[in-house]
Structure 1
């Protein structure tokens, strides 16, 4: 291939990425949300057995709630991957924006879990120990860290998009 063809393909890919920037973001958010929910379910619910999704009833109900939570996490993960595959097919996958969505989705879900489910609704605690605040702080700090990483990556792609738009406008 010659340089002109490569340049045209590159510009086409950038155009597709920008055209589908919202889909890149939502694909990442759904995947990140599903992935962190899956990790939470497997590690904290099944392997460590620290809690169930719903601990305000019997163990039987707790296990049913874990199964529903697990199904939800897989639906979100698979939905994110279907959108990801479609973006690849369209030559519109923007990995930096997608990863920003992954971190943002995972962080928002974890922060929601730590604040709303653990503290406000009290449907379960991260772990049933005397000094649970240590676990809560670590949980929420990690969540905020993921949100910050996601926002930084998303903002970088916004700046790229604005820069590309300014360059395209100047060349027209």
Structure 2
């Protein structure tokens, strides 16, 4: 099937990427910060071993969650706008690919900046071997990027319009 040059996939892809980055941040914050309690935003620089340090870490975890909430809200706004455009084909592969790209970008950027460069925290702060956990986080991000790219590429020929079957 030939690609229709009048169709624009970028709005759907951009929405997916922002949603993926926001939702990936929520997974990090909810699972690693709150449920498993492996780290906080500043746990390498300010171990939460006193009430004051725990409160400071909790504050910065909240700032982090507010930031990923904004990414998610912006992604929803872009998704709504894309849904109102007749020139944007609905493609589950493009949207899911964008979500995976966004989550992968979140992991790679956050992993490089916070874990490696700034050393604000590590994936598993309270273990002797921090580097393998940080590298696994980055590798997972790279896998998400590859899977997302493959899905976006596979969806480049999807041409479903509103009311038609979505692929």
Bin for the TM-score computed over the shorter chain:
0.7 to 0.9
Query: Which structure is higher in RCO with an 8 Å CA cutoff and minimum separation 6?
Result: 2
- Under a length normalisation based on structure 2, what TM-score does the superposition of the two structures give? 0.78
2:128 partner SS: coil
Aligned length: 146
Q: Which of 113, 116, 126 is residue 116 of structure 1 equivalent to?
A: 113
Tell me by how many angstroms 1:112 deviates: 1.4
Written as runs of structure 1 = structure 2, the 5 A alignment for 1:79-118 is 79-91=74-86, 92=88, 93-118=90-115
1:130 aligns with 2:125: no
Distance 1:26 1:90 in 2: 14
Bigger helix share: 1
Q: Which residue of 2 aligns with 1:34?
A: 22
Tell me by how many angstroms 1:100 deviates: 1.4
Distance 1:68 1:75 in 2: 11
Q: Which of 55, 68, 75 is residue 70 of structure 2 equivalent to?
A: 75
Runs of 4+ in 1 over 4 A off after TM superposition: none
Unaligned runs of 5+ in 1: 1-13, 165-172
Q: Which has the larger radius of gyration?
A: 1
Unaligned runs of 5+ in 2: 47-52, 160-167
- Under a length normalisation based on structure 1, what TM-score does the superposition of the two structures give? 0.76
Written as runs of structure 1 = structure 2, the 5 A alignment for 1:45-84 is 45-55=33-43, 56-57=45-46, 58-84=53-79
Tell me by how many angstroms 1:65 deviates: 0.6
- Give CA-to-partner distance per residue, 1:87-146, whole Å, 9 cap, x none: 223353332222111111100110112222101110111112111222123212111110
